[in-house]
Amino acid sequence: MTTKTLPITEARAKLPQLVKAADERLDRTIITSNGKPSAVIMSYEEYEAWEETLEILSDPDAVQAIHAADEELASGQVFSFEQVFGYKQPKAK
């Protein structure tokens, strides 16, 4: 994954390659107009992940639950797989 910056004129000429790089390698391209960043090309998969993250972070209850879980983990308040599910976790092959 790389991030590069291109002026809009160069991005226009390379659009198919930029889209392919975003889709296949998760590359990001910042598009500038008159030297100022104005848009980003990224994969749709990454865009969806950002949207989901923003949705979670905009929910105060979810953020509070995340902070509480972090505090529980830091203080050692954890449970084993067996304690949670009632049986031993299968070994990875």
Q: Is 82 within the bounds of a domain? A: no
* Beta-carbon count within 10 A of 40 CB: 14
**Both 35 and 10 in a single domain?**
yes
Place of tokens 């972070």: 57
**Both 31 and 59 in a single domain?**
no
Q: Is 51 within the bounds of a domain? A: yes
pTM exceeding the 0.75 threshold for the entire prediction: no
**Both 49 and 37 in a single domain?**
no
Q: Is 88 within the bounds of a domain? A: no
Q: Is 85 within the bounds of a domain? A: no
Range of the domain at 66: 45-76
Residue 80 is predicted with a pLDDT of 86
Q: What is the pLDDT along the chain (93 residues), one digit of tens a residue?
A: 899 999 999 999 999 999 999 999 999 999 999 999 999 999 999 999 999 999 999 999 999 999 999 999 999 998 888 888 988 877 877
**Both 49 and 31 in a single domain?**
no
How far apart, in whole angstroms, are the C-alpha atoms of residue 4 and residue 19? 13
